[in-house]
Structures are given as C-alpha cells and as structure tokens.
Amino acid sequence: MDFICVLMLIPRSTYLEKELEKRFNLLKLWTFPDKTQFIKDHAESVRAIVGSGISTIDADLISAFPNLEIVASFSVGLDNVDLELCKEKGIRVTNTPDVLTDDVADLAIGLMLAVLRRLCESDRYVRAGNLKKGDYKLTTKFTGKTVGIIGLGRIGQAIAKRSEAFSCPIAYHSRSEKPDVKYKYYPSVAELAANSDILVVACALTQESRNIVNREVMDALGPKGVLINIARGPHVDEPELVSALVEGRLGGAGLDVYQNEPEVPEELFKLENVVLLPHVGSGTNETRKAMADLVIANLEAHFSNKPLLTPVV
C-alpha cells in the first residue's frame, strides 16, 4: 500500500507517523510552508486524510481532494468533520471510540478529587515551605456527593461506574431517558444541575449541545457546586463560567478543554478553586498507541476492501 497517498493534517503521535510511513506514502501537511500550493500539487493523489479532534476537515478541505476515499480521525469526537458532505460524496469516516474511555473517565474522577480536595493548591503549599507554618485549610469531601452527568454514552457510563465506587448517587441528562439505566434521569440540564453537587460534561458536541452549560445551569449548580468538563470546550459558555467563578456563584471547576483552544481565559489562572489541564483526557502512552493502531487498522481495512472497524459514515 506504499503507493497510496495519506495526508496527515497535524502532528499528534510520533508512533502513528512512523507506522503510517511503513505502510503508505505519508504526507505531513505541517511540514509544507505553503499549504495552498501543497494542496494544488497533491489534489489528485490524496486518497485518505488522518485528522484529530483539533483539526478541521471542512467542505473546502474535502472538496480540494477529488479522489479522497476515507477520513480516519485520531479521536472520538467528530464535530470538526463535515460528516454530511462526506456522506454525500461517499467518503468513509472512522474514529477511535472505546480505547480512550477508561483514560477520560479516570481523568474526570481525578479532576473531581483535585477540585474538591484542592490537590494542586496543596502541592504548591508544601513546595513553598508553608507546611512549617501550619496545617493546610480544610477542604471538601468527595465520597457521597451526587454526580450529575450530561451524556451517558461510553465515557459517561464509565464515569458513573467509577463514581459509584465512591458511594456517589448518580443522575444524568441525555436526549432521551435510557430505559435500561438505573440512574435518576432529568429532562433538562438545569434540573440536573440543581440536583447535583458535581456536574460532569461528557456528551458529544453538536449544534444542540453548544453552550449547554450556560448561566442558568451554573446558577442552578450553585456556590457549592463543581463543574467538570472532559468533553469539548464549546459545551460551556466560557465567559459565563469565568463570571460565575469570579463572583462565587459557582463553587469550582475542573477543565481539560476550552472554548478557543489553545487560548485559556487568564482570569482562571488566579483562582484556587479551579484545576486546569492541557486537554490530556486520552493522553497516556497506552491509549495513544491504541488510538493510532485503530486509525491504521481502519485505513488498512478500507484499502483492502474489508469492513471498517469503527465506521461512522
């Protein structure tokens, strides 16, 4: 398959790059200073695109490659891919579900503990030599807190299972109630927030779920409530989040994603009740390798006329 041209949009995994180079004619878009000229030069040859959750695969890019057959995304979320156009043109689309579920769910629990028990601030307290001056202030217990989850898919259910181990009652909101789920269902996010101590965003990003966590939801969660976002930044109205935290209308937040990455509101940097992570939900060696292997397996299956492992379109 070394004659098949595969275009990788941004650097995400050295392992993935090396494995793709063993199998295909890999073109790395970021290594070409003149992107427009590159696309003109390779318009006819590119048959596959490897993207990620932060690379845009829109109508302009898709239309630039008339022989494009498949888009293999190194991510679960596909809000950055024009799925309708791919479907219309008969372009297959795959992603990497399941393999990153555990890591993202683990991180969500870590953020809950970090915010409630002030782990990051406690670390800084010790490093600054303050332990000699006296005990650190009291924090908030995690065990037994009600965890509300927006979106009860693979990751949402994994977060729920882990939270149950901490004796946390679980509630959720999704587009419809799930008949086979024992957790309490709320028909609106505001109702879920009003009945939760911790609100976790774990749904897919769609037009309907943009700003799903707005001022009403934050006020319902309240001055003792904690917001955790391990999904996508645009799920949360970020200016309203900053205001709620600064004004004390929201108790705290643990964020792995942001509205305009890599930009992060500087107002959050000074807040002790906020834990900020650099979008590392799936960022372990084991999971990134599994994601890369799945991307490769989907490409090999497609070009061997075999069923795709994780088809979306």
Task: For 9-165, list the strands marked E by DSSP.
Answer: 25-28, 46-52, 70-74, 92-94, 147-150
Catalytic residue check, 232 = yes
Which one from 232, 235, 288, 302 is the annotated catalytic residue? 232
Is residue 302 part of the annotated active site? The answer reads no
Which one of 42, 162, 215, 279 is the catalytic residue?
Answer: 279
Q: What is the per-residue burial (b if ≥16 Cβ within 10 Å, else e) of 162-193?
A: bbeeeebbbbbbbeeeeeeeebebbeebbbbb
Cα atoms in the Cβ-side hemisphere of radius 13 Å centred on 78:
19
Question: 16: helix, coil or strand?
Answer: helix
Look-up: residue for tokens 């003792």? Answer: 224
| Separation of alpha carbons 160 and 227, rounded Å | 15
Q: Out of 21, 261, 267, 300, pick the active-site residue.
A: 261
Q: Helix or strand or coil: residue 7?
A: strand
- Active-site residue 261, yes or no? yes
How many C-beta neighbours within 10 Å does residue 87 have? 13
- So which residues are the catalytic ones? 232, 261, 279
